[in-house]
C-alpha cells in the first residue's frame, strides 16, 4: 500500500543531506576517519531528487557519485567544513537529514609537515571536540523545518537514540543497530527503526538502501503534513 505519489511529492522542496565520513587531518598524509561508505546518504539524495526535490548533498570523502541533476554535491573533508557548508543552506532547507558519520574529535594541532618516524618517540595526538552539526542546526531550526538524524548503536539502542533525538532537537531519528546482520558498513542493505519526537517507534525489515530511503522519506512527509 502506497500513501505517497513518489514521483513528485517533494517538488518545490529543498533538502539538505550530509553523507559519508569526515577526515580530520593529522599531517599532510594522514587523517582520523571512519568506515562510513556514504551509501545511505547518497541513496537518500537520489530518492529525494527522484521525488522532485532540490537536493544539496554535503559529502565527506566517498567513492560514490550522484546521478541525478537535481543533486548539488558539496564536497568537504572535515567536520568543521561540513558544518560551515550546512549552515549556508540550512536556513532555506525544508528537510535536513544528517546521515554523515561525523568524527567526534579532531587533532588539536595538525602538522604542516609529514611526521617522521625516526625523529622522535611514538607521537601523542592531542584531540579536540568537533562541533555537533545536527545539534547546531537543531538550535537554529524553525518550527516548519524538519530535521532528521541517524544513530548507529551497538547496545542500549533505543534509549541512546531517543536521548540523541531530544538532545539535538530532532524531529525523527533513524536507528541502525550494528548487531543486525546486513546493516553494517559498506553493505547495500540496511535494517532501521524510526523513532519520532513523540517517542513512537516503527521497526522496518532488512531492505536495499534505496528502499530504506523511500521508507524514511515517507515518514518525513507524514511529519511535514502535520506542521
Residue 5 or residue 140: which is nearer to ligand CTP going by CB? 140
Coil/strand/helix, residue 39: helix
CB 104 within 8 A of CB 129: yes
Query: Does residue number 104 form part of the binding site for Ca ion (CB under 5 A)?
Result: yes
The answer to whether 168 is a known ligand-binding residue is: yes
With CB under 6 A as the contact rule, the residue among 134, 172, 217, 220 that binds ligand CTP is 134
175 CB contacts (<8 Å, ≥6 apart)?
A: 150, 151, 153, 157, 158, 161, 192, 193, 194, 195
Query: Does residue number 77 form part of the binding site for Ca ion (CB under 5 A)?
Result: no
| 54 counts as catalytic | no
Coil/strand/helix, residue 220: helix
In the complex, what is the shortest distance from the CB of residue 113 to ligand CTP, in angstroms, rounded to a whole number? 28
Residue 21 or residue 214: which is nearer to Ca ion going by CB? 21
- A 10 A CB-CB count for 26 gives 18
Picking from 83, 75, 85, 90, the residue whose alpha carbon sits closest to that of residue 38 is: 75
With CB under 6 A as the contact rule, the residue among 54, 130, 162, 193 that binds ligand CTP is 130
Interface region with ligand CTP, contact rule CB under 6 A, candidates 23-31, 32-40, 131-139, 180-188: 131-139
All three cell numbers of 199: 517517542
Query: Does residue number 175 form part of the binding site for ligand CTP (CB under 6 A)?
Result: no
CB 163 within 8 A of CB 110: no
The answer to whether 114 is a known ligand-binding residue is: yes
- A 10 A CB-CB count for 87 gives 13
Q: Which does 79 bind (CB under 5 to 8 A by kind): Ca ion, ligand CTP, none?
A: ligand CTP
Residue 41 or residue 214: which is nearer to ligand CTP going by CB? 41
What is the signed CA dihedral for 179, 183, 186, 188, rounded to 10 degrees? 160
Query: Does residue number 150 form part of the binding site for ligand CTP (CB under 6 A)?
Result: yes
**What is the rounded CA–CA span in Å between residue 18 and residue 76?**
10
**Which residue positions form the known binding site for CTP?**
104, 114, 150, 164, 168
Residues at the interface with ligand CTP (CB under 6 A): 18, 79, 98, 100, 102, 104, 130, 132-134, 149-152, 164
Residues at the interface with Ca ion (CB under 5 A): 104
Amino acid at each position: 500500500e502506497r500513501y505517497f505519489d513518489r514521483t513528485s511529492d517533494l517538488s518545490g522542496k529543498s533538502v539538505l543531506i550530509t553523507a559519508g565520513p569526515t577526515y580530520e587531518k593529522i599531517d599532510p598524509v594522514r587523517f582520523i576517519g571512519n568506515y562510513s561508505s556514504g551509501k545511505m546518504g547518497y541513496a537518500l539524495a537520489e530518492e529525494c531528487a527522484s521525488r522532485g526535490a532540490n537536493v544539496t548533498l554535503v559529502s565527506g570523502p566517498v567513492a560514490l557519485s550522484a546521478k541525478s541533476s537535481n543533486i548539488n554535491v558539496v564536497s568537504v573533508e572535515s567536520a568543521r567544513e561540513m558544518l560551515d557548508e550546512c549552515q549556508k543552506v540550512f536556513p532555506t532547507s525544508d528537510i535536513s537529514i544528517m546521515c554523515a558519520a561525523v568524527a567526534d574529535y579532531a587533532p588539536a594541532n595538525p602538522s604542516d609537515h609529514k611526521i617522521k618516524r625516526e625523529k622522535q618517540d611514538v607521537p601523542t595526538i592531542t584531540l579536540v571536540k568537533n562541533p555537533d552539526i545536527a545539534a547546531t542546526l537543531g538550535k537554529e531550526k524553525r518550527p516548519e523545518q524538519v530535521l532528521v538524524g541517524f544513530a548507529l548503536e551497538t547496545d542500549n539502542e533505543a534509549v541512546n537514540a531517543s536521548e540523541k533525538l531530544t538532545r539535538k532537537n530532532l524531529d525523527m531519528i533513524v536507528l541502525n543497530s550494528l548487531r543486525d546482520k546486513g546493516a553494517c558498513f559498506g553493505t547495500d542493505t540496511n535494517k532501521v527503526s524510526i523513532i519520532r519526537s513523540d517517542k513512537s517507534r516503527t521497526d522496518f525489515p532488512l531492505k536495499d538502501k534505496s528502499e530504506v530511503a523511500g521508507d524514511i522519506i515517507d515518514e518525513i512527509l507524514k511529519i511535514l503534513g502535520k506542521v
